[in-house]
Amino acid sequence: MDDWHKNVENEARTNLLTFPKMADLNCSIGAKNYIAWGEEQKINKGYKCGIRDEWQIVPSLRISDALFIRRNNLYPKLIINEAKAYTTDTMHRVTVKSNAEIKALTASYYNSISLAFSEICGRSHGGGVLELMPNEVEEILLPYNENNADLLPLIDKMIREKNDISDILKITNERILKDNFGLSDYEISLADNIWNKLSKRRLNRGKK
């Protein structure tokens, strides 16, 4: 919730306004006037609003355990949904099974093999944007280990401080890939080189 409050202070878009069907609004004059104002602005004529049965209703709202960013620049992020925020289809919803620990699962993602798989399984769009659909996210190899959870506070801190992802991977690869997954230094270097090559090729393509 601290992040949400910071976003409020920074005047970011932090609230989601939802409406029921028009027939269920009853005497809510304010809501009806607001919807009418939206129609005056032709918001209801936009693509996503226009294909809905009732344009003002946002479909498929749900709270998930974690979030995986659908479209990405430098690398995709897996984020625990501690704020219990509702999501639409701009983020993929992650539900953690009962036999997995969410902090361990999240930390286990931040390694060179998983990031390389995100580049291999995803697709590149204009500007070098990396997009992953749900079936593509499911193909990402994630070397899960419960004690990887110990890394999460450091990963979180370094990402918030905008450290280069390579600096984070130097730390996480040692624990996640070497100590817990059994890879050699050569194999880790190979995985890291594959990710770097694929990532840079995509990003450089976006600069042309």
120 — pLDDT class (breaks 50, 70, 90): very high
- DSSP for 64-80, written as a single string: -SEEEESEESSS--EEE
Burial class (CB in 10 A: 0-12, 13-18, 19+), 86: middle
Query: Tokens for 17?
Result: 């306004």
Average pLDDT value for residue range 48-77: 91
91 — pLDDT class (breaks 50, 70, 90): confident
Q: From residue 66, how far is each of 9, 33, 69 by CA, in Å?
A: 24, 36, 10
Per-residue model confidence (pLDDT) at position 206: 60
Task: Please give the Cα distance from 166 to 95 (Å, whole number).
Answer: 28
Task: Please give the Cα distance from 49 to 58 (Å, whole number).
Answer: 8
Average pLDDT value for residue range 145-160: 97
pTM of the model: 0.86
Residue 151 CB: number of other CB atoms within 10 A?
Answer: 22
Query: Among residues of the chain, what percentage have pLDDT more than 90?
Result: 68
Average pLDDT value for residue range 120-146: 92
Question: Who has greater pLDDT, 80 or 16?
Answer: 80
Per-residue model confidence (pLDDT) at position 115: 97
pLDDT tens-place string over residues 171-193: 999 999 999 999 999 999 999 99
Per-residue model confidence (pLDDT) at position 85: 87
Task: Please give the Cα distance from 109 to 173 (Å, whole number).
Answer: 10
201 — pLDDT class (breaks 50, 70, 90): very high
